[in-house]
Structure 1
Amino acid sequence: MIKKNKKVLLKKITVKAGKVLLVLFAISLLQVLLLNWINPFTSSVIIQRQIKSFFSGKNPVKYEWYNYKDISKEMALAVIASEDQNFPEHFGFDIEQINKAIKESKRKRRLRGASTITQQVAKNLFLWEDKSFIRKGFEAYYTLLLELLWNKKRIIEVYLNIAQTGNNIFGVGSASKIYFKIPPLKLSPDKCALIAAILPNPVRFSIINPSEYIKNRQVWILEQMSQLGGIDYIKNL
């Protein structure tokens, strides 16, 4: 009798868990589908920063959306050259870079980042900021959804708008207006490369007073942009 009751209880738990997972899947699917057509007015990371800013009373968040057609194509090329050169080809995960990161970590005992642009969009748009395995699991899940339901142009468009580009500054449009006093469509290749250069740590690195490291990184990004073939590399996104 006890054994039978345990089986019944286990079945009920399994059914309820299945229903919960189905609801969560439906919600996440709806999220991604809607944001393919509706421009996000915020992101998960921006909301977290807004909360911190509200309680600290410092550095209000600056975020302004710009459509892909209103952003210099050199800007899209610069972030791809800097962050994810295989972006047009991979399906959300760059296995080559992941393997390189693992090999490098064995030598230096420190794991460098190997996140693709799609993974960064998944994290910044939908998730919270930490490095737990749970968050990484959700990131992988949303990455697959984005690659399945969005095209590459939409992914890079959202990335260019929600990537952090300064202390509580989000998006290349905001960076362009704040740092250079011009709309993002007017950004030169040099300025695009400079913005891309600070993306790994936009709070520590400065666009206004770039260090020698950032200047060298800017030059490297410009070289990579040229080697990739210029904006022809992204014309089919």
Structure 2
Amino acid sequence: MLRRLFRWTALLLIGLVLLSILWVAAYRMVPVGWTLLMPIRALEGAAPMRKEWVPLDRISPNLVHAVIGAEDSRFCQHAGIDWDAVRAAWAENQEGGRMRGGSTISMQTAKNAFLWPSRTWLRKGLEAWFTIWVELLWPKARVMEVYLNIVEWGDGIYGAEAAARSHFGKAAADLTRREAAALAAVLPSPLKWSASKPGPYVRNRTGILERRAAIVRREGLAGCVLPKT
């Protein structure tokens, strides 16, 4: 009896592993139509969803530069996981502190595309698992494309195209450097902050991110996404 239970449990785990890998492989080519966050927000009473998938070449390079400068300046250098941040988070948790941030763009993409929002170790462990396969199966440009198309940018607003049209009345391809920096500035808390109606903190952060984006542009830190910039 125990042997049979063990066998079925092992088969179930193998099946889940294979399914997760196939899921990641499918999203290399197929647009991510929805995320688990979207129905959660809907149940919380969010505004009607605004979302439109656009390819990376229809998103302004200014937004790529600003997001890399804001979220993950080593995006083109790392393999998806910042192991120094992981070790620091583990040490702090062992000491009774709260879970640290420090997720890379690849990790945020994996979380948004495949998982639910929470700060548990189970979620973080699954995030690491999906991040590894995202990095193995997707080129960096695809990671950025998916991230920019599914990330939350306001109440009911998902992705760069919806964000650009909602906040600035234009397509994502036409975002200026200032507008791109403003969108990147609100990413940590898009339901609290507004790119189009910024308070003092967001205005100050936007200026900082404009300067960081200029560094990303000048030093070629987005070369894995925009090789000609």
Kept after mapping to 1: 8 A contact 2:81/2:103: yes
Counterpart of 1:189?
Answer: 177
The runs of 5 or more residues in structure 1 that have no matched partner are 1-8
Report the Cα distance in structure 1 between the residues aligned to 2:224 and 2:79, rounded to whole angstroms: 15
Aligned AA for 1:23?
Answer: G
Report the Cα distance in structure 1 between the residues aligned to 2:70 and 2:20, rounded to whole angstroms: 29
Kept after mapping to 2: 8 A contact 1:74/1:231: no
Partner SS for 2:220:
helix
Kept after mapping to 1: 8 A contact 2:73/2:221: no
Partner SS for 2:75:
coil
Counterpart pick for 1:143 among 114, 131, 135? 131
1:31 to 2:23 alignment = yes
TM-score computed with the length of structure 2 as normaliser:
0.89
Report the Cα distance in structure 2 between the residues aligned to 1:45 and 1:164, rounded to whole angstroms: 9
The alignment-based identity, stated in percent, is 32
Report the Cα distance in structure 2 between the residues aligned to 1:227 and 1:60, rounded to whole angstroms: 37
The alpha carbon displacement at 1:105 in A equals 8.9
Greater C-alpha Rg: 1
Counterpart of 2:166?
Answer: 178
Counterpart pick for 2:75 among 87, 91, 94? 87
- How far does the alpha carbon of each residue in 1:67-86 deviate from its partner, in whole angstroms, 9 at most, with x for none? 10000011111111101111
1:20 to 2:8 alignment = no
Partner SS for 1:165:
strand
Question: How has the CA–CA distance of structure 1 residues 96 and 132 changed in structure 2, closer, same or farther, with 3 Å as cutoff?
Answer: closer
Partner SS for 2:62:
helix
- How far does the alpha carbon of each residue in 1:134-192 deviate from its partner, in whole angstroms, 9 at most, with x for none? 11111111111101111100000000011111112111110101111111111011100
The runs of 5 or more residues in structure 2 that have no matched partner are none
Equivalenced residues, count: 224
Report the Cα distance in structure 1 between the residues aligned to 2:87 and 2:213, rounded to whole angstroms: 23
Report the Cα distance in structure 2 between the residues aligned to 1:78 and 1:84, rounded to whole angstroms: 10
- How far does the alpha carbon of each residue in 1:34-73 deviate from its partner, in whole angstroms, 9 at most, with x for none? 11011112122123223x16xx4x5111111111000001
Report the Cα distance in structure 1 between the residues aligned to 2:176 and 2:200, rounded to whole angstroms: 20
Report the Cα distance in structure 1 between the residues aligned to 2:198 and 2:80, rounded to whole angstroms: 31
Counterpart of 1:163?
Answer: 151
Q: Which has the higher helix share?
A: 1
The alpha carbon displacement at 1:17 in A equals 1.1
Counterpart of 2:2?
Answer: 10
Report the Cα distance in structure 1 between the residues aligned to 2:85 and 2:211, rounded to whole angstroms: 20
Report the Cα distance in structure 2 between the residues aligned to 1:100 and 1:70, rounded to whole angstroms: 37
- How far does the alpha carbon of each residue in 1:93-117 deviate from its partner, in whole angstroms, 9 at most, with x for none? 12344466678999xx555411111
Counterpart of 2:104?
Answer: 116
Kept after mapping to 2: 8 A contact 1:160/1:172: yes
Counterpart of 1:68?
Answer: 56
